[in-house]
Amino acid sequence: MGFTADVAALTNRKFKPLGELGYLMGVLLCLLRLDRRAFPLRVEGRQEMDHRRCLFLTFNNSKFTGGKMMIAPQADPTDGWIEFVRWGPIGRLGLLWNLHRLYNGSHVEHPLASRQAVRRVDFELDGPVDVMVDGEVLTLHCQTLDILPGALNVMV
């Protein structure tokens, strides 16, 4: 949710045939109109809703997103948890200065970032938002994210 999904949605709509150059164009355009917004949510049954604005929220069961970005460096697809990463309302210059950190996972050490392993997240969104689900952009009205450990059998 947020910047990462915005970039993917814009790239898919306007620049997909250009490949990596198209993705870079999507990043630059989204950076120009940087939208740091709140995605009200409650983690793990806490009483209070989190209404803080942010650059993005991600929920990952693996370390990498987009093939190369280590968005969730502590994610483990076998542990029954999902890694929740939130990057607060960083500005344009701060994002440009720290963008490389998304590729080595050190962005989670930034003072505006946080991460935690969770099994349930409840949302109170005003309406549908663009989200990335396994690399695909979907427009969803998110209500609850529940992790069901062991629900899928994967054979390699």
pLDDT in tens, 99-136: 899 999 999 999 999 999 999 999 999 999 999 998 89
Q: Structurally, what CATH architecture does the domain formed by 37-146 represent?
A: Sandwich (2.60)
For 128, other C-beta atoms within 10 Å of its C-beta total 11
Q: Label residue 60 by pLDDT band (50, 70, 90).
A: very high
For the chain, which residues make up each domain, given as ranges? 37-146
Q: Note the pLDDT of residue 106.
A: 97
Judged on CB neighbours under 10 Å (0-12, 13-18, 19+), 131 is buried
Task: Find tokens 């200065």 and name the residue.
Answer: 97
pLDDT at 73: 96
Record the pTM.
0.89
Mean pLDDT of the 17-41 span: 93
